[in-house]
Amino acid sequence: MMLFSTPPYVLGQGSVRRVMLQVLIGLLPGIAAYIWLLGASIVLQLLMATVAALAGEALMLWLRGKPQGLFLSDGSAVVTAWLIALAFPPLAPWWLIVGGTLFAIVVAKHLYGGLGQNPFNPAMTAFAVCIVSFPALMSQWPALGLKLNLAEQLRLIAGLIPRVDVMSGATPLDALKTALKLGEGAVDVPTLLATQEVFGNFAGRGWEWVSVGYLVGGLWLWQKKIIGWQAPLGFLGSLFMLAAALWVWSPQQFANPLFHLFSGGTMLGAFFIVTDPVSGSTTSRGKLIFGFAAGVLAYLIRVFGGYPDGIAFAVLLMNLCVPLIDMYTQPPIFGMKNER
């Protein structure tokens, strides 16, 4: 945000709108898996988040005296909205997603200067704000065995029927952490992964395929050159290495690296969050460092911290470091020797 990379500039084709549209297309495989596994309630969440984001965007553009059409149609607000909807629990009450999205757009994006100026990733800011403020609601994920018809899901989101704890379960990451804590050393990870309902073939039951969907969409974005390889590889690489090291050291206490790669928000974070061109680092080496450190932090927070997943906090903490990273990773000016 504060430092720009040095010339020569190579211009990619297409505008902000085109890039954002392709990011949205990249999210579709993950969304498809999500709908297939957990029902259509996510579509309603996506819709509500989109409407809230566009309304918030329009309001702030009007207050700031900016052209409405140009910024409303660039799609950046919709990308933020979709990321929020995918990161939040699918049966969360409507006001949670609407409030979170409005916070992301109004506070995290526009109060810092709008598109291109925000130091923090808006979607992750919304997630952090909501998980700090409403920890119970943000940790209620529907159990996969639970079959609710669409009408019941909609009534739950609208808050018309009371929330019952039976309907919801923890995320696979949370379940693992809680079981280990309650077991006091009497349980070990391989047994838990093999026996508990919530775990599937290689990660959380069902969720693993949503993660595969994000991976497919992310690889497509990389192949289309919308995102670089540095940030995702740094993120997944450091998470994998840290998980592998601890797993080799003590497989009884720590889940295997594959589980961590396909659990929680890892894949969504790797390809759609740490690749954010605004709040992330701008230089190539900086992106690698940014992703690497975010992966380390995400693993530490999710395994040793009190929150179900650590991606949001890791990304926000690394966003704070971006000016520093950018300063130390400036490439030499074209034609000049590197002075350092």
By CB under 8 A, name the binding residues for another protein: 107, 111, 129, 132-134, 137
Minimum separation from the CB atom of position 51 to another protein (A): 21
Choose between 100 and 264: whose C-beta lies nearer to another protein. 100
Query: In whole angstroms, what is the distance from residue 121 CA to residue 278 CA?
Result: 8
Choose between 105 and 221: whose C-beta lies nearer to another protein. 105
Choose between 137 and 226: whose C-beta lies nearer to another protein. 137
Choose between 133 and 195: whose C-beta lies nearer to another protein. 133
List the structure tokens of 178.
């809680």
Minimum separation from the CB atom of position 96 to another protein (A): 9
Quote the crossing angle between the two packed helices 16-38 and 76-87, to the nearest 10°. 20
Give the contacts of 287 (CB within 8 A, at least 6 positions apart): 228, 230, 231, 234, 280, 281
Choose between 18 and 163: whose C-beta lies nearer to another protein. 163
Minimum separation from the CB atom of position 93 to another protein (A): 9
Minimum separation from the CB atom of position 56 to another protein (A): 16
Minimum separation from the CB atom of position 142 to another protein (A): 19
Choose between 107 and 311: whose C-beta lies nearer to another protein. 107
Minimum separation from the CB atom of position 71 to another protein (A): 21
Choose between 111 and 324: whose C-beta lies nearer to another protein. 111
Encoded amino acid at 261, one letter: L
Choose between 137 and 314: whose C-beta lies nearer to another protein. 137
Minimum separation from the CB atom of position 53 to another protein (A): 19
Encoded amino acid at 76, one letter: S
Residue 140 burial (CB < 10 Å; 0-12/13-18/19+)?
A: buried
C-alpha angle 143/145/148, rounded to 5°? 80
Choose between 129 and 212: whose C-beta lies nearer to another protein. 129
Query: In whole angstroms, what is the distance from residue 278 CA to residue 283 CA?
Result: 12
- Supply φ then ψ for residue 70, to 5 degrees: -60, -50
Query: In whole angstroms, what is the distance from residue 201 CA to residue 215 CA?
Result: 17
Minimum separation from the CB atom of position 131 to another protein (A): 10
Give the contacts of 33 (CB within 8 A, at least 6 positions apart): 209, 210, 212, 213
Minimum separation from the CB atom of position 133 to another protein (A): 4
- Supply φ then ψ for residue 168, to 5 degrees: -120, 155
Best CA proximity match to 192, nearest among 175, 209, 208, 206: 175
Query: In whole angstroms, what is the distance from residue 330 CA to residue 322 CA?
Result: 12
DSSP codes, 208-271:
HHHHHHHHHHHHHHHHTTSS-SHHHHHHHHHHHHHHHHHHHH-TTTS--HHHHHTSTTHHHIII
